[in-house]
A and B are shown apart, each in its own frame.
Chain A
Amino acid sequence: MSEVEHLELTAETKNLEVLVEWIEEFCAEHWEAAAHEYRIQLVVEELFLNLIHHVEDEEGLDDTVTFQLKRTPQGAELTIVSSGPEFDPFDDAPEPDLDSPVDERTVGGLGIVIVRELTDDQSYKRVSGKNQLILSFGKETSEQSGSENNHEHSSSVGDSEDQTNLSAAAAPSESCRPRSITFQILAVLLVLVTASVASTAVLNYIKFERILTNATAARYDPVLREVDRSIGESLLRGLTLSSTQTTQTFLERSTQQFGQNFSLTVHDLDGATLFHSGEAVLAPDPVPAIGEIMSGSSQPDQYVRHAAITQNGVIVGTITLSHPTTEASWDIEEVSDELETAAIISLVPFLPLLLVLTILMIGRIEGRLHAGMLAVERASEKLTAQNPVEGIWRVQRFLGIVRKGQDWTREMTGSRPILLILLLGLLAFPFLIFGFLSVRVLEPKYLNEFETQTITAVTGVQRRVDYAVSAFGGLSTLRDVERVLDRARSSAPGMSFFALTDPDGDILHLSADFPLEVRSQISMLSAASTAAPVTPFEQTFFDLTGIALNSPVAMAEDGDSDLLITNLPITGENGDTIGLLYAGVDIETLNAVKRDIWIDTGVVIFAVILIATELLILVFSVLLIRPAWAIDFLMARLRHRDLRFTLPAFGGGSAKRVIQRINEAISQAAASARSTLCLILPSSKGPDTVHIPALSHVRLPLFLFFLAEALLRPILPQFLGTFAPTESDSNFWTGIIMAGFMATSLFSVLVGSFLSERTGGPRLVFFVGAVCSGFGMFGHLIANDFYSILGSRMLAGLGYGLVYAAAQVHVAKHTDPIRRTTGFSSFLAVIVAAEVCGPAIGGIVADRFGLFPAFSTAFALIVSSGALCLLLLPRISPSITNPNMRPELSRTEAASNQALQMTGWRSQLEMAREILSNKRFSVAIICFAIPAKALLTGGLFLLVPLIVFASGGGAAESARVLMGYGLAILLLLIFVAPLADRWRGFSLWVAAGSMVAAVGFIVPNGWILLGDGGLLFLFIATVLFGIGQTLSIPTQISFLLESTDRQTMRFGSGPVLGLFRFLERLGSFAGPLIAGVLLLHYSPDIALKWMALGAVLLSALGLSWFLAFGQQDEESQINALLIET
């Protein structure tokens, strides 16, 4: 807007609003005028209403009125031009009677008094037959009057200060320095990332130690298998193990060949030592199964490996190979040091980047907000009892500026979303570096073990070939070589081929899966080495850290294959090399470990980002969002000149001070402005304290609580199975225990919903729920039989239901009804986020540390959740959920809703009966909601982990499969919800989603591939299930509310949703029971198929019903038809 603005309009009441907005816009652009906006508005309103009266009284009068606003150094100048006979209101108007009692005074005449009081200068002119009033706002100071040159740029002392403050707020970049909040957030992020990197380092260390220890312990397994098999073969019919003279010779021959690196001992089944070469060790107890290699622990400084010796398929004794632990080609301390270095290297470049980005994003927002808050604070200091109206108006203006000019939410989501993405992306940065370096720490050591094991396996064959060659003359005398190579290959898992070649590399004997490939690989090996050169940077890095940046695998591999090829010479009688023995080992195991590391890194990144997001939301909520919300509220109230409400002081820093100051100002103004017109004043008790919503405060405790339960997801079925009564189907009893959990949660969610409706309810119910769950979880740690674990699980379920209900009611109470979907999507997002990273983290913890630490972690999370709930959740429900609402209205609505809801159990039953009589509601519950929950608890939470375990997977694999479900929901939810709102064919969404989810679980059976690719298909199945649930679950609520329109109108949405949740949980309860019964007859994958088929059938029935009878009831359809026609 320019410095002078004109507005022409007719003198009609409807134009008053246009006029008010025009003034607002002008003042928003001109700070000088803004300081007087309230007075301008009052004066204009008064004069415009007078003009309207004149026009209405005198027929034929031109009703056009022209307004002009001009910025002046001290404020503004308002010019009003109107038609009519000449009339100077300041001279011609009679003096009003202010002395007589009110009842005796004549009507009118007071307006001009108000105009005189509210303007600083007044003049009247008759120009071109029209009346022209010129009114000045803002006094000229003595300095201004003495200095014409400065006139345009000076103002009063108070205004000057305002201007400075406003300018500061208007130009926030000058004062957007980061403050305490930024550094608090920075500290939180630093602690979070550092602790997570350190935890990852510990987890990787444990993983590496186990992998390398296992690999080293298994180093001579090929030898053990070969010796074992040879002894078995030498036990010809009629001989006994103790009678085979050859065994001792053979043991000695084997140990000698490997330089006495290990000892071999043969025991009979009574544990008596029959033969040994090297130091004899104790016999295994129990005897290992046929074909199994069992680790022994009889000697702390030795790796002990046992195998059973068989004769014609019957175990007749055992053989034990032991070798010293000091023999490892890697040092555990070295691994520890390298991982420590890797962690430091990962964090070092991250810190400055995090500092810069946090300051750029959060510091900037905080700086701007702080500047605005300071302006408001200073403005509020000017509030005096003498001039309360102007003071209040001043605060209102400043709040508007803070809110409008410094909209941090726009900063975050609008103009600079890239900063938010960068900040969250930056959190992944150290983990990616650490993941990369971790792989590099492990690779050379693991590869070395691969090589050693390969050489060990080759040496076994070489010994026989050498012996035969020395006895009989040459390679041509060897017979049945392929059989020996095949056998040696089967003794060394992962060995892809063995080949005996002449010195030129021509293959004489070969045992391989893919012979043609081996031929080309061996011929290529004769070419020069293809090892990649090491760059100076890589060399320097290695010298400094001991970690090689370039992959030894890439150098060891040849071409595209994943084979590590080793060769040993065969020497003739003269010591000449007469042949070469090649062995190629498949390093897929190493690649699998690398994949695991990256997947685990991804899981940790995801979890850290989610936790960081929750923390940021909490910090923003406490320090920024709620103060901003309070500003919105105060603005709305002050706009209506309403001084009846104050806010409790909350937040931190300047925001808290500002709220305190404004409260004081409002109280002061209300007390001193009792006689002032146009203000809504509080009762004699003073302003009411208004409690504002704290929706986000439930997120972190809720996230931690659900994370605790989700942690156990991949390990729970297996863990519960251990408590099944002996000689019974453990899967069935697992289903019973899980159903026990669901049963208690089913009722506690109902009870929790009612209790949460009371004052302070959600906070208390949440806490009680957390305590119950905490005790339940502790029970898992000490349970020793079926009944104790069932009790613990049911207690945990009781807490689960209470927390779920409390959180749901909290969300409902703290969300504006018109934005309830957004509120509930935030609730769902928290649960899904916990469901995504919980199983993965639980899987990793269980895999590295065992079940007990996993349950302990869950227990600790629940305790934290309970503590945070007490700390964060407000004791009192919010008075309003919309800053533009008047609190008393909101209270009335709430009271009326409560009246309907809380009128005793009998009326509750009556209400339930009424709702259930709605066929659409019942069909939707039976055909969609219950099957969806049954598939979730019985299928996803019980059967899927059992399938993973049945196919040989562990907790980590189970967690990865379950993760697919959460990921699908999390990624799709943001797209599906708006789409569903736009295209409101909810029944189709729900039915399609239910079918996709159910069909997803038929997928693994469709391929019948639950072998090698089984887990991949199972992952696809859970992703499909997640997609289906995303399509159906959020739309179920809208669908139900729409199809129960009349009931919702009558009882409110709460009871309908409460009943829905209760009935839905019947499905949760039934799921594990159905799965358990199916498991009595079928394997987990088949049981899953039957459950899914049942769900498909019910979905199809439901969809058919809705297609036939429609989504709305008949009355609504008839009404719609009538409106259309």
Chain B
Amino acid sequence: MLYLSRRELCGGLVAATVLNPIGVSATTSKTIFMVLWRGETEVEKGFRGHFEQLDQPVDIIVRSVERDADKVKEIVEEIKSVGPDLVYSWGTSVTLAIAGRDPDLSEGPDDYPPQITDIPVLFTMVSQPIKSRIIKEFGPTGRNVTGVSHLVPLETQFEAMQAYMPVDRISIIFTPTETNSMIAADRLVEIGQRMNVRVDQFPVPNTTDGSPDPEALPSLISEASASGAQFLYLGPDSFLGQYAQRVTDLANALQLPSFASVERMLSASDALYGLVARYQKVGQFTATKAERILFGNEDPANIPVELLPEFSYLIRSDVARKLNIYPSLALMDYAETIEP
């Protein structure tokens, strides 16, 4: 670590002042262009909170695609015209539409080409950036893109699931049209085989217009319960996120507890427990990278893409009581119990 004496520090400050006749102030307001999937969430609350705490002025322009990826094109044009200091993209779909795939991983010019290349792009809430081929690996990307992933690794989730009580059969309901969800479902089966736990997949069928059919959920959940599953895994699935309450209600009615992979499913539905990244923490962590770009003058190409280093084991005690399924006492060391 480099330590500066008081004299060196003062000298440095004076020199910086003299050599910077333009006098760019650290307090110059920066513009952040937020592109969101479904409006502002706890993540953005954490993001804003970080800058408020630092008392650093940022102007944030917010645009939400409202779960419609096609809207991103228009927003990209707006970004180009506004010329913000930073583009903030929420979720895998939005990020792919703005930052595109890593050029080295792209399968052709039509495979999500990067749309913004001259403005730093900071993504968040991308559950699997590598599988989505946005980045090659966690770490610096070498281009104008950096970001934060929030999803606890699936192996970890698997272990967390078993820490509550031993299980040997799990069911997963997922939306095949969602890349993330599909990847997660396959990966879960793979881990299950390795850990000697049977994983039954229950894909949500599409309606005639190609969108997932919410009407199919009761029968899927009944099947899952009938298969003898001890837990229902709720992955990072936007469709299921939308119908989370309904899904957990149906499952709980059949005494089938749910394990949530993201915080929202615990707060917005009646999933029993989950090992999750707290959204606010994700937002705060994303904000630290934004701060480095905006006020630290760091090149986003050198700022590593990272997994949020903080996860919480959350148990809905009301759901546990309702289902009469209680966790192992050993979990009480580090688990947090929450109620809505």
Which of B278, B317, B321, B327 contacts A245 (CB under 8 A)? B278
Complex Cα distance, B334 from A231, in Å, reads: 8
| Interface contact A250-B337, CB-CB below 8 Å | no
B312 at the interface (CB under 8 A from A): yes
Complex Cα distance, B309 from A240, in Å, reads: 8
B153 at the interface (CB under 8 A from A): yes
| Interface contact A484-B317, CB-CB below 8 Å | no
Which of B281, B311, B321, B333 contacts A473 (CB under 8 A)? B321
Asked, given contacts A242-B309, A243-B307, A249-B336, whether A478 binds B155 with beta carbons under 8 Å apart, the answer is no
Distance in angstroms from B259 CB to nearest chain A CB is 13
Task: Classify the secondary structure of A's interface with B.
Answer: helix
| Interface contact B329-A464, CB-CB below 8 Å | yes
> Which residues of A sit under 8 angstroms from B155, Cβ to Cβ?
236-238
| Interface contact B329-A238, CB-CB below 8 Å | no
> Which residues of B sit under 8 angstroms from A243, Cβ to Cβ?
307-311
Which of B278, B311, B329, B333 contacts A479 (CB under 8 A)? B329
| Interface contact B275-A236, CB-CB below 8 Å | yes
| Interface contact B156-A237, CB-CB below 8 Å | yes
| Interface contact A477-B156, CB-CB below 8 Å | no
| Interface contact A239-B156, CB-CB below 8 Å | yes
Q: Which residue of B lies closest to A230 (CB)?
A: B333
Complex Cα distance, B329 from A484, in Å, reads: 7
Distance in angstroms from A686 CB to nearest chain B CB is 96
Asked, given contacts A237-B156, A237-B159, A472-B320, whether A479 binds B310 with beta carbons under 8 Å apart, the answer is no
| Interface contact B156-A480, CB-CB below 8 Å | no
> Which residues of B sit under 8 angstroms from A467, Cβ to Cβ?
332, 337
> Which residues of A sit under 8 angstroms from B329, Cβ to Cβ?
464-465, 468, 478-481, 483-484
Complex Cα distance, B275 from A484, in Å, reads: 21
> Which residues of A sit under 8 angstroms from B234, Cβ to Cβ?
none
A691 at the interface (CB under 8 A from B): no
Chain B 309-326 interface residues, beta-carbon cutoff 8 Å to A: 309-313, 315, 317, 320-321, 326
| Interface contact B156-A238, CB-CB below 8 Å | yes
Which of B309, B317, B327, B333 contacts A233 (CB under 8 A)? B333
Complex Cα distance, B312 from A236, in Å, reads: 12
| Interface contact B281-A245, CB-CB below 8 Å | yes
Q: What 1/0 mask marks residues of chain A from 231 to 262 whose CB sits below 8 Å from any chain B CB? A: 10110111110111111011000000000000
B330 at the interface (CB under 8 A from A): yes
B160 at the interface (CB under 8 A from A): yes
| Interface contact B330-A480, CB-CB below 8 Å | yes
Complex Cα distance, B152 from A246, in Å, reads: 14
Complex Cα distance, B333 from A247, in Å, reads: 9
B328 at the interface (CB under 8 A from A): yes
Q: What 1/0 mask marks residues of chain B from 243 to 278 whose CB sits below 8 Å from any chain A CB? A: 000000000000000000000000000000001001
> Which residues of B sit under 8 angstroms from A242, Cβ to Cβ?
309
Distance in angstroms from B12 CB to nearest chain A CB is 26
> Which residues of A sit under 8 angstroms from B315, Cβ to Cβ?
471
Q: Which residue of A lies closest to B153 (CB)?
A: A238
Chain A 204-234 interface residues, beta-carbon cutoff 8 Å to B: 226-227, 230-231, 233-234
Q: Interface residues of B, CB < 8 Å — how many?
A: 34
Q: Which residue of A lies closest to B316 (CB)?
A: A471
Greatest chain B CB density within 10 A among A465, A472, A477, A484 is at: A472
B165 at the interface (CB under 8 A from A): yes
> Which residues of A sit under 8 angstroms from B163, Cβ to Cβ?
233, 236
Complex Cα distance, B310 from A250, in Å, reads: 13
A487 at the interface (CB under 8 A from B): yes
Distance in angstroms from B160 CB to nearest chain A CB is 6
| Interface contact A236-B326, CB-CB below 8 Å | no
Complex Cα distance, B321 from A1079, in Å, reads: 65
| Interface contact B311-A246, CB-CB below 8 Å | yes
Q: Which residue of A lies closest to B311 (CB)?
A: A245
Complex Cα distance, B275 from A377, in Å, reads: 106
| Interface contact A479-B320, CB-CB below 8 Å | no
Distance in angstroms from B254 CB to nearest chain A CB is 21
Asked, given contacts A464-B332, A471-B315, whether A477 binds B278 with beta carbons under 8 Å apart, the answer is no
Q: Which residue of A lies closest to B320 (CB)?
A: A472
> Which residues of A sit under 8 angstroms from B330, Cβ to Cβ?
230, 233, 464, 480, 483-484, 487
| Interface contact A244-B310, CB-CB below 8 Å | yes
Distance in angstroms from A954 CB to nearest chain B CB is 36
| Interface contact A480-B317, CB-CB below 8 Å | no
Complex Cα distance, B157 from A237, in Å, reads: 9
Distance in angstroms from A171 CB to nearest chain B CB is 89
| Interface contact B326-A238, CB-CB below 8 Å | no
> Which residues of A sit under 8 angstroms from B321, Cβ to Cβ?
472-473, 477
| Interface contact B326-A478, CB-CB below 8 Å | yes
Q: Which residue of A lies closest to B313 (CB)?
A: A246
> Which residues of A sit under 8 angstroms from B310, Cβ to Cβ?
243-245
Complex Cα distance, B327 from A465, in Å, reads: 12
| Interface contact B156-A464, CB-CB below 8 Å | no
Complex Cα distance, B320 from A235, in Å, reads: 24
Q: Which residue of A lies closest to B317 (CB)?
A: A471
Which of A230, A245, A479 contacts B312 (CB under 8 A)? A245
> Which residues of A sit under 8 angstroms from B309, Cβ to Cβ?
240, 242-243, 245
Complex Cα distance, B324 from A528, in Å, reads: 40
> Which residues of A sit under 8 angstroms from B317, Cβ to Cβ?
471-472
| Interface contact A236-B160, CB-CB below 8 Å | yes
Q: Which residue of B lies closest to A464 (CB)?
A: B332
Q: Which residue of A lies closest to B165 (CB)?
A: A479
Q: Which residue of B lies closest to A484 (CB)?
A: B329
> Which residues of B sit under 8 angstroms from A480, Cβ to Cβ?
328-330
Q: What 1/0 mask marks residues of chain A from 482 to 513 whose CB sits below 8 Å from any chain B CB? A: 01100100000000000000000000000000
Complex Cα distance, B152 from A236, in Å, reads: 10
Asked, given contacts A238-B153, A464-B333, whether A246 binds B326 with beta carbons under 8 Å apart, the answer is no
Q: What 1/0 mask marks residues of chain B from 101 to 140 whose CB sits below 8 Å from any chain A CB? A: 0000000000000000000000000000000000000000
> Which residues of A sit under 8 angstroms from B337, Cβ to Cβ?
467, 471-472
| Interface contact B326-A479, CB-CB below 8 Å | yes
Distance in angstroms from B7 CB to nearest chain A CB is 28
Complex Cα distance, B327 from A481, in Å, reads: 10
> Which residues of B sit under 8 angstroms from A246, Cβ to Cβ?
311-313, 334-336
Complex Cα distance, B55 from A1034, in Å, reads: 95
Which of B156, B332, B336 contacts A236 (CB under 8 A)? B156
Q: What 1/0 mask marks residues of chain A from 667 to 703 whose CB sits below 8 Å from any chain B CB? A: 0000000000000000000000000000000000000
> Which residues of B sit under 8 angstroms from A227, Cβ to Cβ?
333
Complex Cα distance, B160 from A246, in Å, reads: 13
| Interface contact A236-B159, CB-CB below 8 Å | yes
Q: Which residue of A lies closest to B309 (CB)?
A: A243
| Interface contact B152-A238, CB-CB below 8 Å | yes
Add 7 more A-B contacts to A234-B333, A239-B153, A481-B329 (CB < 8 A).
A233-B334, A239-B156, A243-B310, A244-B334, A250-B333, A479-B329, A480-B330
In the A-B complex, the 10 residue pairs with the closest CB atoms: A245-B310, A238-B153, A243-B309, A230-B333, A480-B328, A246-B334, A238-B156, A471-B337, A464-B332, A236-B159
Sample (12) of A-B pairs whose CB atoms are under 8 Å apart: A230-B334, A234-B333, A236-B159, A236-B275, A243-B310, A244-B334, A246-B335, A249-B336, A250-B334, A464-B330, A467-B337, A471-B337
- Chain A residues with CB under 8 Å of chain B are 226-227, 230-231, 233-234, 236-240, 242-247, 249-250, 463-465, 467-468, 471-473, 477-481, 483-484, 487
- Chain B residues with CB under 8 Å of chain A are 152-153, 155-156, 158-160, 163, 165, 275, 278, 281, 307-313, 315, 317, 320-321, 326-330, 332-337
